[in-house]
């Protein structure tokens, strides 16, 4: 781990002094993910963290916080080289059950994602945020292109608006004030973000009156590996309880409790023991961690201000039902990392600015969608009006008699990747061929995954399609010649473009089936695994280049009417 002072190592600034191309503020999971994603894109960075250095004792004493990680976020971790331990240790679950007054009223099952040989990633795993952060920190510490500095509290930011300009950062340290410069600054420093405040970005939103008591319980319980959500159970009447299994026989339990709930008073009176016993029974258990939260719904008015980009909790806060907080923050980090890398290499400052502005437009749209979804959930869980209370009661009572009514119960719509169909970086789809199926991926969708059998591989050997995508753009085609020709046409673009021929990696046709579309279709995949173009058979290489130029921020042609 480096502890250099001054300007740090990195790119050569326009003023002649050396400085890191990017400064990341915040060494939580989103900031660490951003640093690793930048390093994967060959961009050195410096990470500044206000708190002291974290060791094993810190992670052992930290509660679970966020625990649910979605398949596509696990894929991000896998691309960054930290997915193996996280996935192996996590508790996989595929079923979410909802109960009302002890009766099961809704069940949702996700495809397991397992396959022969190497399996697809599981739909969900439960593992503590602290454990994920520990893996990310180890990878960041070991990376030669990342300079991690604890005890650096950012107190000043200044940036100029000139093309090729800089952002200046001032941080207080135990040894005095440190001043640094960088081409870009990433604010991933949490809900009380100094970067957001110093950049003058408003953070409007709401808070919910009821609180939630969260406990990590270690016990051997006969519960299956499922998400279980209880409305109005007899052991928390009128409110909700959520139960998740985590690794090491640890159970995460969330109780909705009234405003004014006093955890220490409940602990002293024995009421907390009674509350836990109603779920775990008479067996032994250990209370590992407990806390009380009030949930907030907030979104920064801008996620990009000049050369400053906000990510994770610094940019948005959601109620946790649906697991949209940290999962969304990881996707923020990957989105901004490849765009910064492309902007640093772009020869056209206007294109670089256009590309960086799409960080705001894409991820702000995702944030607003997450706010809409989680806001609907919280209005169902904690109704504020008599109309909302009546609707909730009617939905739950009807679900006791009519299984179809269970789909109207909102215990948290689970996170999924945002679709960038309306992004200026996405080439719109042309006329839809008659062979195309409704489920075939469209421009803006995340690329489907599949288990591929490389030609000539050993019997039963499989590899995930997404693991074959490059750190830049990838051209996926059926034939090697057409994939290579399209990639050659893009040879001088700011980001590497590599060909991927299905005829070499997809002996069983599983990837072709997942990707759909007629044979001969060319798919252009962004560094974050989203499709920026789906081009019909016979598309010349020049059109592929135009699509990727557009995805790198070049001005898009005007849309023509059909």
Inform me whether the pLDDT recorded for 26 exceeds 70: yes
Domains, the chain, ranges and CATH? 11-88+116-204+297-373 (3.50.50.60), 208-295 (3.30.70.2450), 451-551 (3.40.30.120)
Task: Give me the pLDDT at residue 434, please.
Answer: 65
Task: Give me the pLDDT at residue 560, please.
Answer: 36
**558 versus 203: which is more confidently predicted?**
203
Nearest-angstrom CA–CA distance, 284 and 278? 13
57-61's contacts with Cβ under 8 Å and 24+ in sequence apart are: 59/130, 59/131, 59/133, 59/134
Task: Give me the pLDDT at residue 209, please.
Answer: 72
Within 8 A by CB and 6+ apart from 168, the residues are 156, 157, 158, 159, 179, 180, 181
CA distances (Å), origin 230, targets 107, 238, 309, 321, 489: 12, 10, 39, 13, 56
Task: Give me the pLDDT at residue 91, please.
Answer: 94
Nearest-angstrom CA–CA distance, 319 and 322? 8
Nearest-angstrom CA–CA distance, 185 and 203? 19
Q: Identify the bridge partners of residue 103 per DSSP, sorted by sequence position.
A: 100
Task: Give me the pLDDT at residue 505, please.
Answer: 93
Inform me whether the pLDDT recorded for 370 exceeds 80: yes
Q: Which two tokens stand for residue 146?
A: 């990342």
Residue with tokens 């039902």: 321
Task: Give me the pLDDT at residue 246, please.
Answer: 93
Q: With bands split at pLDDT 50, 70 and 90, how would you rate the model's confidence at 81?
A: very high
By the 8 A CB rule, do 506 and 453 touch?
yes
Question: 126-176: per-residue pLDDT in tens?
Answer: 999 999 999 999 999 999 999 999 999 999 999 987 766 899 999 999 999
By the 8 A CB rule, do 66 and 320 touch?
yes
Inform me whether the pLDDT recorded for 114 exceeds 70: no
Q: Which two tokens stand for residue 340?
A: 């910064």
Q: 314 — phi, psi (to 5°)?
A: -70, -20
Task: Give me the pLDDT at residue 443, please.
Answer: 96
Q: How many CB atoms lie within 10 A of CB 427?
A: 23
Question: 202-243: per-residue pLDDT in tens?
Answer: 999 988 777 899 999 999 998 889 999 999 999 898 889 999
Q: With bands split at pLDDT 50, 70 and 90, how would you rate the model's confidence at 317?
A: very high
Q: What is the pTM of this model?
A: 0.92
Nearest-angstrom CA–CA distance, 408 and 310? 34
By the 8 A CB rule, do 238 and 285 touch?
no
Nearest-angstrom CA–CA distance, 153 and 197? 13
Q: What percent of the chain stands above pLDDT 90?
A: 75
Task: Give me the pLDDT at residue 267, please.
Answer: 95
Percent composition of the chain: helix, strand, coil (DSSP 3-state, to 5): 30, 25, 40
Task: Give me the pLDDT at residue 61, please.
Answer: 63
């Amino acid at each position: 781990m480096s502890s250099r002072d001054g300007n740090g190592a990195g790119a050569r600034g326009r003023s002649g002094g050396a400085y890191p191309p990017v400064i990341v503020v915040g060494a939580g999971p989103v900031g660490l993910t951003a640093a690793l994603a930048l390093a994967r894109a060959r961009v050195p960075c410096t990470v500044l963290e206000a708190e002291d250095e974290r060791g094993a004792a810190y992670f052992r004493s930290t509660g679970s916080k966020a625990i649910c990680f979605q398949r596509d976020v696990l894929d991000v971790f896998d691309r960054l080289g930290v997915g193996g331990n996280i996935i192996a240790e996590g508790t996989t679950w595929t079923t979410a059950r909802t109960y009302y007054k002890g009766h099961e009223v809704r069940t949702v099952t996700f495809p397991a994602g397992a396959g022969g040989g190497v399996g697809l990633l599981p739909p969900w795993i439960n593992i503590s945020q602290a454990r994920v952060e520990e893996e990310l920190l180890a990878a960041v510490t070991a990376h030669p292109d990342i300079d991690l500095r604890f005890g650096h509290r950012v107190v000043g930011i200044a940036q100029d608006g000139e093309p090729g300009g800089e952002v200046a950062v001032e941080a207080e340290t135990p040894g005095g004030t440190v001043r640094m410069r960088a081409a870009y600054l990433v604010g991933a420093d949490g809900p009380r973000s100094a970067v957001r405040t110093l950049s003058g970005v408003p953070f409007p939103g709401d808070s919910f009156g009821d609180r939630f008591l969260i406990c990590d319980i270690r016990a051997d319980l006969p519960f299956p590996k499922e998400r279980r959500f209880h409305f109005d159970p007899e052991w928390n009447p009128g409110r909700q309880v959520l139960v998740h299994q985590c690794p090491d026989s640890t159970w995460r339990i969330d109780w909705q409790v009234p405003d004014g709930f006093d955890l220490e008073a409940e602990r002293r009176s024995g009421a907390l023991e009674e509350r836990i016993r109603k779920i775990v029974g008479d067996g032994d258990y250990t209370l590992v961690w407990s806390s009380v939260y009030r949930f907030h719904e907030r979104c920064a008015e801008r996620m990009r201000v000049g050369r400053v980009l906000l990510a994770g909790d610094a940019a948005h806060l959601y109620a946790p039902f649906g697991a949209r907080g940290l999962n969304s923050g990881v996707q923020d980090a990957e989105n901004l990392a490849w765009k910064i890398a492309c902007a640093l290499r772009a020869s056209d400052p206007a294109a670089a600015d256009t590309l960086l502005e799409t960080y705001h437009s894409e991820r702000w749209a995702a944030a607003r969608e997450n706010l809409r979804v989680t806001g609907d959930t919280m209005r169902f869980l904690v109704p504020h009006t008599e109309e909302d209370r009546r609707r909730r009661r009617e939905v739950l009572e009807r679900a006791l008699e009519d299984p179809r009514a269970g789909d109207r119960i909102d215990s948290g719509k689970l996170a999924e990747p945002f679709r960038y169909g309306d992004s200026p970086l996405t080439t719109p789809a042309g006329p839809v061929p008659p062979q195309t199926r409704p489920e075939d991926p469209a421009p803006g969708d995340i690329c489907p995954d599949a288990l591929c059998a490389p030609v000539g591989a050993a019997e039963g050997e499989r590899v995930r399609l997404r693991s074959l995508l490059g750190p830049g753009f990838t051209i996926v085609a059926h034939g090697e010649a057409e994939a290579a020709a399209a990639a050659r046409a893009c040879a001088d673009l700011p980001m590497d473009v590599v060909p991927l021929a299905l005829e070499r990696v997809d002996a069983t046709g599983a990837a072709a089936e997942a990707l759909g579309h007629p044979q001969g279709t060319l798919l252009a995949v962004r560094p974050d695994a989203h499709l920026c173009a789906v081009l019909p058979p016979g598309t010349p290489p020049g059109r592929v280049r135009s699509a990727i130029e557009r995805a790198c921020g070049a001005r898009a042609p005007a849309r023509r009417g059909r």
